[in-house]
Structure 1
Amino acid sequence: MGAERARFPRGAAAPVSLVPRATDGLVSAAMSDPSLSAPAPTVHVLIVAAGRGARFGGPLPKQYCSLAGQPVLRRTLTAFLAHPAVAGVRVVIHPDDRALYDAATDGLDLAEPVAGGATRQESVRNGLEAIAPAAPDLVLIHDAARPLISAGTVDRLIASLATHVAAIAAVPVRDTVKRAEGSRIADTVDRTHLWRAQTPQAFRFADILAAHRAAVGLDLTDDAAVAERAGHPVELVMGDEDNFKITTADDLARAEAAMMARLGDVRVGQGFDVHQLVPGDHCWINGIRIAHDQTLLGHSDADVGLHALTDAILGAISAGDIGQHFPPTDERWRGAASDKFLAHAGSLVKAKGGMIAHCDVTIICERPKIGPHRAAMAERIAEILGLSLDRVSVKATTTEKLGFTGRGEGIAAQATATVRLPFDLPAPGIA
């Protein structure tokens, strides 16, 4: 470890970076280019999610509120988990929020969360101590309530640590600043050298851990202040105006609007599927097992509704059809639950940096009756795709006893899916 740290000499910091430098991104480039001799530093991220969000209001802490269909915390985490330079992510949570945390992070590759302390500073120190056995070179400390962090900001911070002990994302103050006495202006403050601090705040791990240990009992406002107290110069790296902290309900609405602006490529896909009815005792339709005197015939569980919806999602992102991804000639899918197919289609949307805005499934049959099961079907689809219930619609109709569905020979389903994608797909990590 000592040999690795020699790559990052201590010493005086370079002048403040008022704009992104031409060298930004060199560290992440080194990671992807094996011809570069210097090994890439090991980068871990510490997400601080132990706050209660008193100013936000509402029944949930802000980090667990829904942002475009996913918890704020999950969107923050996936941004870092997708970044190629990040080797590990650890989260500090309030002990009372464990159930909320587990629901928000289901399926993500994360270490056990760390219990927060009485202050933010104590929470961060707890998190750093938990990361210490991994001995990373660098650590980025980030607020859970800043879900719109960009890959470019992360790149610039990591690059800055090649020549600095500490660096923070920040943006220059652009508004005129007034100093007040009571409700009156006392002075106009020169804003030339004023910056608004953001997170991530990035450090060489051993230095910030030692600084936090030396600051036990204090209540400093951020981790940069802890580093400053230890005598470490802190570099300013250009942040992003979208990387704001969600503090109020209005901030949450602003974050959702910003996400929708990024996901301006709106696409609609359609799907259609038919399966034959044969003697049996149940049918799988839209992920729900329905007792019936017939069953649907197919290589998998023949869930006609989920098959149609899977094709609709694949069509919206121009990714072929269900047969290409799960060929009926492949024995792996014999009798398989169709929720696997639908979840796969949803994961492809997320891999493109997009989201499913809405899906609508119509089941066409005389029997079994769909009405009593519609609510359960919608809930199951929402669960599989990780959507809020208001983004899922399930309907049913008959053909007035006409055709093969009217004669009870089979069941048909048609589906549409509305998907939002970035026009210009971002680098991994952009929310």
Structure 2
Amino acid sequence: MAGLDKQFALAGGRPLLAYTAAVFEKSPLISEYVIVLSAENLARGRELAQAEGWTKLRGFIEGGARRQDSVWHGLRAFEEDPEAPGWVMIHDGARPFVTEQILSDGLEAARPTGACVAAVPVKDTIKRVDRDSLLVEETPPRELLWAIQTPQVFRFDLICQAHRQGQASGADVTDDAMMAELAGHPVKVFRAAYTNIKVTTPDDLDQARLILAGETALAHAGTGPLPIAESTTREPEAMPGPANSHLAPLPALRIGQGFDVHRLVPGRPLILGGVTIPFDLGLDGHSDADVLTHAIINALLGAAGMGDIGRHYPPSDPTIKGISSLQMLTELYTKIQTEGWQLVNLDATVVAQQPKLAPHIAEIRRTLAGVLGVEESRVNVKATTTEKLGFAGRLEGLEGQAVALLTRV
């Protein structure tokens, strides 16, 4: 970016690398780490390490001409140690929004195969085109495509062996998972977060600053006036009108409430929070009738002041018959983010006499958090019965309720 190493680009007054390293410093999963930098940035890195007080940092390593060369230099720093680590996480320094949850999920996902990578399902349709004519040659099924992120987690001996084989064969790869794949190792993906962005362009840096501004606003909620971080942050909203001109600006937080019901009928799948629940009955509707996701969508739209689900997806529209509610959630939350809002937390309830939903709550939370690009801790899902009272108690239908808190970024 204009000659500046992206790891040292400033957001919130600190280099991106400082945010990234802070996660590893705090994580109980990380015993030590090295940072690989270009030769011209080594002195700057040492100054930053001293200013930040990093204690787990083993040292700085000079990088190579390609990404794979730099990674190999970093791996060799540990390989030469008599007590080489069992596992290694390889992470982009300019990906500052990695979380402890992502680190933990990655290590757990890597255990069966020894290799896994952070990823998120793609939201857009992807087309393969001819390099010269730009004519479309193929449209791969979107449900099979994942956008790869870091950290990439490997058994240490496995990835070292893969790099050696890659060097011997002259392989030129764009990530370490590809190096493992070429060596014949199975690589698994695990769902990370859409907010785990890599800052590569000026637009990416603007997005990073917006995310940081939102986190700052959340941290200061209820403690006084919200700080204005970076030039991209919007002013806090104030109540209109001369009569209110003496009032302090309102906190940039909005609460929305969502509610939905659907009838239970035979011959339909029961889908809640994007997860198919085994049951004899399913929910009737123009879409997949996911009553929980519909309530969540209404809560988010309500908080953003953007109407309700029916305004955006009218049930009279034949083109959306059978549409996935998760697709609607993805598209509408993207619109909400475009309007400058970001989810703080979500609390949702399913009212159902049957089936028992407790065994499925964890998967529902993971699915919803993944679609919204937030940590699972920000998404709470509960289930309750009505003690056989009302339409839910008579198994005539299910009810979904949700409350969402958004912050202006």
2:140 pairs, out of 189, 192, 195, with 189
Measure how far apart 1:183 and its partner are. Answer: 4.0
Q: Per the alignment, do residues 179 and 230 of structure 1 end up closer, same or farther by CA in structure 2, a change over 3 Å counting?
A: closer
Q: Which residue of 2 aligns with 1:119?
A: 66
Cα distance between partner residues in 1 of 2:164 and 2:125:
38
Q: Which residue of 2 aligns with 1:97?
A: 41
Residue 108 in 1 paired to residue 57 in 2? no
1:224 pairs, out of 150, 165, 177, with 177
Cα RMSD after superposing both structures: 3.1
Is the Cα contact below 8 Å between 1:90 and 1:113 reproduced in 2? yes
Q: Which residue of 2 aligns with 1:215?
A: 166
TM-superposition CA deviations, 1:130-163 (whole Å, max 9, x none): 0121411100000111111121111111112332
Equivalent residues in 2 for 1:392-403, closer than 5 Å = none
TM-superposition CA deviations, 1:284-328 (whole Å, max 9, x none): xxxxxxxxxxxxxxxxxxxxxxxxxxxxxxx98xxxxxxxxxxxx
Paired residue type of 2:118: A
How many pairs were matched up?
230
Paired residue type of 1:87: S
Is the Cα contact below 8 Å between 1:72 and 1:144 reproduced in 2? yes
Report the TM-score when normalising by structure 1.
0.49
Q: Which has the higher helix share?
A: 2
Partner SS for 1:170: strand
Residue 244 in 1 paired to residue 197 in 2? yes
Measure how far apart 1:264 and its partner are. Answer: 2.4
Cα distance between partner residues in 1 of 2:211 and 2:41:
27
Paired residue type of 1:95: A
Measure how far apart 1:229 and its partner are. Answer: 1.5
Paired residue type of 2:54: L
Measure how far apart 1:261 and its partner are. Answer: 1.8
Paired residue type of 2:84: A
In the alignment, structure 1 segments of 5+ residues that lack a partner are 1-55, 270-314, 317-355, 359-386, 389-421
Q: Per the alignment, do residues 151 and 114 of structure 1 end up closer, same or farther by CA in structure 2, a change over 3 Å counting?
A: same
Report the TM-score when normalising by structure 2.
0.51
Cα distance between partner residues in 2 of 1:264 and 1:130:
40
Cα distance between partner residues in 1 of 2:136 and 2:180:
33
Fraction of identical pairs, as percent: 35
1:66 pairs, out of 10, 22, 25, with 10
Q: Per the alignment, do residues 210 and 257 of structure 1 end up closer, same or farther by CA in structure 2, a change over 3 Å counting?
A: same
Q: Which residue of 1 aligns with 2:97?
A: 148
Cα distance between partner residues in 2 of 1:62 and 1:158:
27
Partner SS for 1:199: strand
Cα distance between partner residues in 2 of 1:257 and 1:94:
28
Q: Which residue of 2 aligns with 1:174?
A: 123
Q: Per the alignment, do residues 357 and 127 of structure 1 end up closer, same or farther by CA in structure 2, a change over 3 Å counting?
A: farther
Q: Which residue of 2 aligns with 1:277?
A: none
Partner SS for 1:112: strand
Cα distance between partner residues in 1 of 2:150 and 2:219:
31
Q: Which residue of 1 aligns with 2:211?
A: 258
Q: Per the alignment, do residues 66 and 176 of structure 1 end up closer, same or farther by CA in structure 2, a change over 3 Å counting?
A: same
Cα distance between partner residues in 1 of 2:39 and 2:205:
24
Cα distance between partner residues in 1 of 2:221 and 2:43:
35
In the alignment, structure 2 segments of 5+ residues that lack a partner are 231-342, 346-374, 378-409
Is the Cα contact below 8 Å between 1:65 and 1:71 reproduced in 2? yes
TM-superposition CA deviations, 1:405-425 (whole Å, max 9, x none): xxxxxxxxxxxxxxxxx978x
TM-superposition CA deviations, 1:176-233 (whole Å, max 9, x none): 1223232443443322211111110000011111111221142211100111122111
Q: Which has the higher contact order (CA 8 A, sep 6+)?
A: 1
Q: Per the alignment, do residues 75 and 189 of structure 1 end up closer, same or farther by CA in structure 2, a change over 3 Å counting?
A: same
Is the Cα contact below 8 Å between 1:64 and 1:104 reproduced in 2? no
Cα distance between partner residues in 1 of 2:221 and 2:165:
56
Paired residue type of 1:163: P
Paired residue type of 2:33: V
Measure how far apart 1:174 and its partner are. Answer: 2.0
TM-superposition CA deviations, 1:252-301 (whole Å, max 9, x none): 110111122223236499xxxxxxxxxxxxxxxxxxxxxxxxxxxxxxxx
